[in-house]
Amino acid sequence: MFSFELLQEVAEHDWIQTIQSGTHGGEESLPPLLEFVRSVFDHVAPERLTGGLTLLASSNFPDALGDADHTLAQLAELADLPFLHPQHLVLVAREQGDYLVWNTQPDDAVLTAHTLVYRFDGSDHFMLPDLTVSLPEIPGFGSIFSIPTFMTLDEALLDYERTHVRHSGCPLLAANWDDDDRIVLANKPESSMRRSLEQYLRAALRGYGLIELRPEQNVDESHPIDIKVTWSVTNRIALIEIKWIGQSINPEKTATTNWKDPRANSGAKQLSDYLDSNKEYTPSHHVVGYLVVFDARRAGASAENRELSDEEALQYLAVEINYEPKYEELRPDFAPPVRLFMRPKTQVA
């Protein structure tokens, strides 16, 4: 059923509503500015913009700001942007298709009096004459407008490892450790891992139809699938089984559960069995099973010992899991297993 209360609540937190409401009829200017912001981040990663960034899309940028002394450059295309290293970049997208760049930060009041302004200073803001709208931060990404997207699940999983898992950039994963150095996992870390991957895929995987997360309470081993991704037009289904290896603390914090390769192997067998048993239910679909293993193995760690050398902590960085049998070689509907190594905090990180 439709709930107006929920819609009202959503509207209150919708920064687009806040901006559009504040521009009083300037509503058409927002999508072009957003597109401009996106294309800037396509060429320069937000992390590199340490001095901050101010963007305007303006058809008639006021002469008052076009002070020649401060004009850094006139850019024909944004691909040239990475070659500039100013403190604070001010970019104006002009109607004629080129860009003006300044390296001094102009008076915000002058800018906002003229047009809607985007500001990046580690997080995203839009500035109106009497209002600055700050956007919620998206963990794992510098800017809400720099989230990359991927056409295939394989590409997405590679990026997930890099941006979310490797240094526990995903806040769900960051909170999933029992210690600050990321040596021992928290108790029952699976559910956070599942939700982390699900959330990532929702935002980064292109063209899926449905992404379904197995409900928490459904822990029956005969239904091992954690995440099901359905593509509607191509009739493809990916069944993702998530396992973790390494150590996780018990609720009493007195000992750890220590999973090793056999745990991953049993996950592979469960997935293979499940694919067999479900073939008949989805005859018209092309189903592929994915085994995703979060790897938190640490040499010499225990409930008591968290003080590891870098060598110990990183010992498993490049140690692949030994699978027997190798299902991906036996059946075409089994993707090569994906190992996501979760690095500890180390000096050489």
Binding of residue 130 to another protein (CB under 8 A): no
Residues 6+ apart with CB under 8 A from 88: 51, 52, 53, 54, 103, 104, 105
Residue 206 C-beta: closest distance to another protein, Å: 5
Residue type present at position 195: R
Is residue 234 part of the contact set for another protein (CB under 8 A)? yes
List binders of another protein among 29-48 (CB under 8 A).
30-31, 34-35, 38
Which DSSP helix (H) or strand (E) runs through 329? Answer: helix 327-330
CB of 37 to another protein, least distance (A): 8
Q: Which is nearer to another protein, 24 or 348 (CB)?
A: 24
Token pair of 324, please? 């027997």
Q: Per the structure block, which two tokens stand in for 292?
A: 């995703």
Assess 147 for contact with another protein (CB under 8 A).
yes
Q: If you count them, how many residues does the chain have? A: 349
Cβ at position 46, least distance to another protein in Å: 15
Separation between Cα atoms, residue 114 and residue 175, nearest integer Å: 43
> What per-residue string of b and e applies to 171-184 under the rule 16 or more CB within 10 Å gives b?
ebbbebbbeebbbb
User: How far is residue 164 from each of residues 157, 172, 178, measured CA to CA in Å?
Assistant: 10, 9, 18
Q: How far is the CB of 200 from another protein (least distance, A)?
A: 10
Taking the complex as a whole, the smallest distance from the CB of residue 312 to another protein amounts, in Å, to 39
Q: Which of residues 244-303 bind another protein (CB under 8 A)?
A: 284
Name which of 285 and 339 has its Cβ closer to another protein. Answer: 285
User: Scanning residues 189 to 228, which ones bind another protein (CB under 8 A)?
Assistant: 201-211, 213, 215
Of the candidate spans 147-155, 168-176, 245-253, 262-270, the one that interacts with another protein by CB under 8 A turns out to be: 147-155
Q: Which of 14, 94, 87, 97 is nearest to 55 (CA)?
A: 94
Residues in the site for another protein, rule: CB under 8 A? 2-4, 6-11, 14, 16-17, 20-21, 24, 27-28, 30-31, 34-35, 38, 147, 149, 151, 201-211, 213, 215, 230-234, 284
